[in-house]
Amino acid sequence: MIDKNSPVPIYHQLEEQIKSQIENGSLEADELIPSEREYAERYQISRMTVRHAINNLVKDGFLHRQKGKGTYVSKQKVEQKLQGLTSFTEDMLERGMTPSSRLLSFEIIPASQPIAHRLGLKENTPVYEIRRIRLADHVPMAVETTYLPANLIKGLTEDIINQSLYKYIEEKLTLNISEASQEIEATSAKDHEVKHLQIEKGSPVLLILRTSYLEDGTPFELVRSAYRADRYKFVHTMKR
Amino acid sequence: MIDKNSPVPIYHQLEEQIKSQIENGSLEADELIPSEREYAERYQISRMTVRHAINNLVKDGFLHRQKGKGTYVSKQKVEQKLQGLTSFTEDMLERGMTPSSRLLSFEIIPASQPIAHRLGLKENTPVYEIRRIRLADHVPMAVETTYLPANLIKGLTEDIINQSLYKYIEEKLTLNISEASQEIEATSAKDHEVKHLQIEKGSPVLLILRTSYLEDGTPFELVRSAYRADRYKFVHTMKR
DNA sequence: CATTTACAAATGTCTATACCACTATAAAAC
DNA sequence: GTTTTATAGTGGTATAGACATTTGTAAATG
């Protein structure tokens, strides 16, 4: 079960083991899992290592602790997936749809004041501007405009943004994407959105403005998306 | 600085101290904080205790670690507040507005199939149904319908929901609120929403459907909110 | 029988130490 | 001068033990 000589840390092995026992049902919801001391004894590992594993599972909502009693398995939530910061492509694949894009424009422009402000740049700093129609199963889903600081996200090409921008940022540029903040509102479709999304004039659209950050807090991406309200619903979870 | 005899844990004291140093600027963004060994030496505490404190701050996005180098202060995000699961009242106060409510109805009804399903109940199980108009600075902001399992959230009164429902659940019922999942979409206002929100027919509204969970994963609340799109924007952050 | 007390078991906090992997730099070798 | 090698410092993992706090139960007490 636990391989002490494996390069993968013991706490992570135990974590995965408990998680799979929850998922395959051998540990049921509301059930008390073995105590920390029992895990430690059973696998001949330290109790602190067991705590490390269990703490991670508590943080992710799989378990919850009760002092003096023990650690219980939490019920599976209805929306267990589709959380966290994802790209349009990742999002659509999760929903079981086939994502594609139609590129409207791709250029470097000087940042306007509001865009510069949100990206923490000086006005007129060069930024990539990428305008796209996003499709799901070949039907227009959203019109999207992305701004990226050209001095930070270097060497962008059409190929890269057609593949995976996040993958490029994380693997080629070795930058750590940490989090994003979003503003979500409802509006009526503007003229160009009516055209691109093939909807009636005045139809409601879901407007999402996202600012994404690297690990050190630097904003690296600003995305304005206008989604067809009849085809898209934003889903997320949040902690108390 | 650190009081070993305090009933508040050492790791928590250190956590608060570092956090306040970040907030008052004595630790600046991108700066390397003292090493774990240095904190341990300086306060004569164990390095594991220091790690406990730092890990919590990393989890909350105040710091980020880099193996072999050290631990850095992260830049403050623009939207640092207003994250996490909050009530309408908490939300409005954060936004600097004065919240109030107008109760439309408050009764116990048998749960319809869709409501029962989302709350993990059998059909016709009794649930509280609370219909309210939510106001901010005395202007209608949203119409809201809340469903609560009557067998779980016992003893509800009008007084309680006019005060703080979450406070009642957490303190009087001693239940631990853990998280919520939300579905957010844009629609056109229905007739009754037009009336209650004092908006034009066909105006866009932001529809939020929230299911809230206790620590053990039990759903305890279902809320359907229709917000005036011209006055409300939903803001949140999410981790990669 | 009811109440109090004692105890066992669980998680929570904390210590002191050890070794690993990674990074940057200084010293040594070429 | 350039390359290699050693070294020191950092966070990452792991150990073995100690005591505190909370909870439930069993035993002692009234």
Percentage of the residues of chain B whose pLDDT score is greater than 70 = 98
The C-alpha of B225 sits at a distance from chain A's nearest C-alpha, in angstroms, of 13
Least Cα distance to A220 among A210, A233, A231 occurs for A210
Given phi > 0 = left and psi -120 to 50 = alpha, else beta, which region is A40?
alpha
The C-alpha atoms of residue A113 and residue B138 are separated, in whole angstroms, by 34
What pLDDT is recorded for position A222? Answer: 98
The C-alpha atoms of residue A206 and residue A204 are separated, in whole angstroms, by 7
Residues 6+ apart with CB under 8 A from A114: none
Inter-residue contact A145 to A161 (CB < 8 Å): no
Q: Which residues of chain A have pLDDT under 70?
A: 78-83
What value does the mean pLDDT take over residues B22-48? Answer: 96
Burial zone of A127 (CB within 10 Å; 0-12 exposed, 13-18 middle, 19+ buried): buried
Which pTM was predicted? Answer: 0.91
pLDDT band for position B225 (50/70/90)? very high
Q: pLDDT tens for residues A74-92?
A: 998 765 565 678 889 989 9
CB of B41 lies under 7 Å from some atom of strand D: no
Out of A29, A179, A206, name the one closest to residue B186 (CB).
A206
Q: Tell me, what amino acid is at B78?
A: V
Burial zone of A128 (CB within 10 Å; 0-12 exposed, 13-18 middle, 19+ buried): middle
Q: Tell me, what amino acid is at A29?
A: A
Task: Measure the CA angle with vertex B82, ends B158 and B221; round to 5°.
Answer: 40
Q: A184 and B235: CB-CB below 8 Å?
A: yes
Which residues does residue A228 pair with via DSSP β-bridges, in sequence order?
A205
The C-alpha of A178 sits at a distance from chain B's nearest C-alpha, in angstroms, of 5
Inter-residue contact B43 to B82 (CB < 8 Å): no
What value does the mean pLDDT take over residues B155-167? Answer: 90
Out of B75, B77, B233, name the one closest to residue A184 (CB).
B233
Direct distance between the N- and C-terminal alpha carbons of chain A, in angstroms, rounded to an integer: 35
Task: Measure the CA angle with vertex B156, ends B151 and B158; round to 5°.
Answer: 150
What pLDDT is recorded for position B173? Answer: 87
Burial zone of A198 (CB within 10 Å; 0-12 exposed, 13-18 middle, 19+ buried): exposed
Out of A72, A216, A236, name the one closest to residue B64 (CB).
A216
The dihedrals phi and psi of B155, each to the nearest 5 degrees, come to: 75, 25
Rg (chain A; Cα; Å): 23
**What is the CA B9 to C1' C10 distance in angstroms?**
19
**What is the CA A44 to C1' D16 distance in angstroms?**
12
Q: pLDDT tens for residues B78-126?
A: 655 556 788 899 889 989 999 999 999 999 999 999 999 999 999 999 9
Q: B206 and A218: CB-CB below 8 Å?
A: no
* Strand pairing class (B70-73; A219-228): unpaired
Task: Measure the CA angle with vertex B152, ends B150 and B157; round to 5°.
Answer: 50
- Find tokens 């108009």 and name the residue: B133
The C-alpha atoms of residue B200 and residue A198 are separated, in whole angstroms, by 24
CB pairs under 8 A between A and B: 170
Rg (chain B; Cα; Å): 22
Q: pLDDT tens for residues B6-22?
A: 999 999 999 999 999 99
- Between residue 66 and residue 105 of chain A, the positions with Cβ below 7 Å from nucleic chain D are 66-69
Question: What DSSP string runs through chain B?
Answer: ---TTSSS-HHHHHHHHHHHHHHTTSS-TTPBPPPHHHHHHHHT--HHHHHHHHHHHHHTTSEEEETTTEEEEPPPPS--SS-S---HHHHHHHTT--EEEEEEEEEEEEPPHHHHHHTT--TT-EEEEEEEEEEETTEEEEEEEEEEETTTSTT--HHHHHS-HHHIIIIIS---EEEEEEEEEEEEPPHHHHHHHT--TT-EEEEEEEEEEETTS-EEEEEEEEEETTT--EEEEEE-
Q: A176 and B204: CB-CB below 8 Å?
A: no
CA nearest to nucleotide C8 C1': residue: A68
Task: Tell me the average pLDDT of chain B.
Answer: 93
Name the DSSP letter for residue A108. E
What pLDDT is recorded for position A51? Answer: 98
Q: A182 and B238: CB-CB below 8 Å?
A: yes
What pLDDT is recorded for position A82? Answer: 59
Of A65-79, B74-88, B171-185, B207-221, which range is least confident? B74-88
**What is the CA A4 to C1' C22 distance in angstroms?**
22
